A = this chain, B = another copy of it.
Amino acid sequence: MKVDKLAMLTDFYELTMGNGYMLSGKMDQIVCFDMFFRKVPDDGGFAIMAGLDQIIRYLRDLKFEKEDIDFLRQKADFDEQFYNYLENFKFSCDVWAMPEGTPIFPNEPIFVVTGPVIQAQLIETVVLLTLNHQCLIATKANRIVRAALGRSVMEFGSRRAHGYDGAVLGARAAFIGGCIGTSCTVVEQTFGIPAMGTMAHSWVQMFDSEYEAFKTYAEVYPDSCTLLVDTYNVLKSGVPNAIKVFNEVVIPRGFRPKGIRIDSGDITYLSKESRKMLDEAGFQDCKIVASNSLDEYIIRDIIIQGAMVDTFGVGERLITSKSEPVFGGVYKLSAIKKDDVWIPKMKLSENISKTTIPGFKQVWRLFDRTTGKAISDLITHKDEVVDDSGSYTIFDPEQTWKQKTIENFTAKPLLIPIFNKGVLVYESPSLHEIQAFCKAQISTLWEEVLRFENPHSYYVDLSQKLWDCRDHLRKSMSGA
């Protein structure tokens, strides 16, 4: 939660290498590192960029305290020069990133750093940790929000999150993905995301009867009365008691009841029956909130079955992205600058899937001018310009005979400058702006890409120049 004290949250090998780079005279070698991911969680068609603002704060404030240096002195056997270097550490790299809320795809760089290797290496752990976490949760939240087909989704997961930041920053990412609020108070205090909540089962159990519990709550909160109706029996006891209390307490005070919440049982059946009972009682405007181990699949199913739910409270399966809790982003060296020229670097690896795209790169999104829809992403060298005034031929980087010539398109560079020589040159939008941007950008994707299962693989292509560069490197390295 305290993003100004993350300097030491770094894998120890970043420091081991830093000391090594210094002693071997390589510390100021200018390099390029990319962050990218290889697979969309849940086999979805796209992921969502989130977490950049936390990285910005980290990089802006990055410094080592005396106590950190003292600790390292006692632990490690680094050169005295290196301790001095850390003591006077000042971030001076260039950083480009895709803005938060951008739909992102496998293998394209979403975050790029250039600068002295000693610095660019050091920040790896926090960059990965932050983006992996928030991209994961934003992506999951967006799936759940899309499954709800316009109904509201609240993030309810704090109690099942992986640690305090898991809860708080997870709620932030969930909001970017489209959730309207959170259960957690400090999330509103920190990020302005509405925190909501009414009562737990314990409230109901504290009174001699459910009726008395509801009545007391309604007397305290007549203007915002939402009652939890499943402590005993939703249809026999919960809803009848709620209606009674709405009539006896809420209405006479000049308010309308706000809602009921169902947290167990068959949500489809119970919500339909509850809806009928509420409607018959004249409370057509009383909302039904459902919670209890929901995710996009269950929400989709119960909506198909006609569940009458207005708001879904989604907890553990959202805040942990339970069905796939790892966003496997990696941070790889992609180029080294020698005599002012970028020398592309590539990792072949024992697993072909772990092979990287070499070079200092830009990513362009090509939009159809007529439909406004995204046609493809195109990865190029950083200094290439995609001319969108005429036609352009894109091709599959593995099966190169699959080609497509496009016209009447616009090309938008996705990686935008964040730090210039260590100076912050980007102003983060507000969270509400990010949420709106995310929604708008997703609307540029074809429905086929949005599908939950077997979505269409969105094209992520390489420019001819970049393809040639990779091909050349692959061939020369496979003999290594």
Closest to A79 in B: B220
B333 A205 Cβ-Cβ under 8 A: yes
Contact B348 A158 (CB under 8 A): no
A-B CB contact pairs (8 Å), 23 listed = A1-B164, A8-B185, A9-B164, A10-B184, A12-B188, A13-B199, A16-B198, A16-B199, A17-B202, A71-B189, A121-B202, A124-B159, A125-B159, A128-B159, A128-B160, A129-B158, A133-B163, A201-B332, A232-B477, A233-B480, A234-B350, A264-B349, A320-B326
Instruction: Please give the residue numbers on chain A whose beta carbons come within 8 Å of chain B beta carbons, in ascending order.
Output: 1-3, 5-6, 8-17, 19-21, 23-24, 26, 29, 31, 33, 68, 71-72, 75, 77, 117, 121, 124-125, 128-129, 132-133, 136-137, 158-170, 183-186, 188-189, 195-203, 205-206, 210, 216-217, 219-221, 223, 230-234, 237, 264-266, 270, 316-317, 320-322, 325-329, 331-333, 336, 345, 347-351, 354, 477, 480
**A210 → B minimal CB distance (Å):** 8
Which residue of B68, B170, B237 is within 8 Å of A162 (Cβ)? B170
Alpha-carbon gap, A159 to B327, bound state (A)? 10
Contacts of A326 in B (CB 8 A): 160, 316-317, 320, 322
Residues in B whose Cβ lies below 8 Å from that of A125: 158-159, 184
Query: Given A11-B185, A72-B185, 6 more contacts at CB 8 Å?
Result: A12-B184, A13-B183, A17-B199, A75-B188, A77-B223, A125-B158
Q: Which of A17, A128, A159, A198 has the most CB of B within 10 A?
A: A159
CB distance from A123 to the nearest CB of B (A): 11
CA distance A188 to B77 in the complex (A): 15
Nearest CB to that of A203 among chain B residues?
B17
A234 to B351 Cα, complex, angstroms: 11
- Is A480's CB under 8 angstroms from B336's CB? no
Interface centre among A196, A220, A270, A350 (most CB of B within 10 A): A350
B13 touches A200 (CB 8 A): yes
- State A332–B263 Cα separation when bound (angstroms): 14
Least CB distance, A427 to chain B, in whole angstroms: 24
Known contacts A17-B200, A270-B350; is-contact A206 B10 (Cβ 8 Å): no
- Asked whether, in the complex, the Cβ of B129 is within 8 Å of the Cβ of A220, the reply is no
Q: Which residues of B contact A325 (CB under 8 A)?
A: 162, 320-322, 325
Q: Which residue of B lies closest to A212 (CB)?
A: B24
A26 to B332, CA, bound (A): 58
How far apart are the CA atoms of A77 and B255 in the complex, in Å?
A: 16
Find the B residue at minimum CB distance from A215.
Answer: B24
Please state if A206 and B21 are interface contacts (CB–CB under 8 Å): yes
Structural contact, B480 and A117, CB atoms closer than 8 A: no
Minimum CB–CB distance from A229 to chain B (whole Å) comes to 10
* Residue of A26, A128, A266, A325 most packed against chain B (CB within 10 A): A325
* Cβ–Cβ < 8 Å partners of A128 in chain B: 159-160
Instruction: Please state if B217 and A129 are interface contacts (CB–CB under 8 Å).
Output: no
Residues on the B chain within 8 Å of A480, using CB:
210, 232-233, 237
